[in-house]
A and B are shown apart, each in its own frame.
Chain A
């Protein structure tokens, strides 16, 4: 089954303790992206990657890092989490080509709470 897999689904952590949220897709998609969802703000892009070793900042990158060493994986790293990073996180992927019709596939989301 074609899918984007995020882990963990739920995470509670303490301020300052480094964490990684994993994202893996099995569709050979070139483009991958991380979003965070907050009430009243919708989803906002954190980082995106066009392909292996090609990443760039989205709209809200502060406090996050990403890496793309393999095509299928795009982990989101919080080096020193803070309470304002409590949010629902989504990983999404799509083919690199295909133009405007290319659909996005979303992971199931990771609900992160930083206390």
Chain B
């Protein structure tokens, strides 16, 4: 079965610095998608960025970029110029084939809690 691994339970970064949140994945599928979500203390899940397995360029969305290394099966999130509002839990997720109905679902890593300090 596919799996997402986030090895950093918590990370600290100073405001205005860049930070990398690690994510590795395991899949035998050729076609797959990788997502990053942000979960602030209020609890909602906020979509940040998406990378398709056939995309040759790393995805970028504003201050977020995804460092996609297919051979290493890693999809690290890079946040540039960190802000205090970036303090949150961050989840890496991947679409996994569902058991039935020829569809798929999201599977999630265990998350990394990022704290940005002044």
Chain A residues in contact with chain B, CB under 8 A?
Answer: 31, 33, 35, 40-45, 48, 50, 54, 56, 58, 88, 90, 92, 96, 100-101, 103-104, 106, 108-109, 111
- Name the segment of B14-22, B63-71, B107-115 touching the other chain: B107-115
CA distance A109 to B91 in the complex (A): 15
Q: Is the CB of A48 within 8 A of B105?
A: yes
Known pairs A42-B109, A45-B106; list 14 more (Cβ under 8 Å): A40-B110, A41-B110, A42-B4, A43-B91, A43-B108, A48-B98, A48-B105, A50-B101, A56-B98, A92-B45, A100-B53, A101-B50, A106-B37, A108-B44
Can you give 7 contacting A-B residue pairs, CB < 8 Å?
A40-B110, A50-B103, A54-B101, A96-B103, A100-B53, A103-B50, A108-B43
CA distance A75 to B9 in the complex (A): 32
Q: Chain B 79-100 against A: per-residue CB contact (8 Å), 1 yes, 0 no?
A: 0000000000001010100111
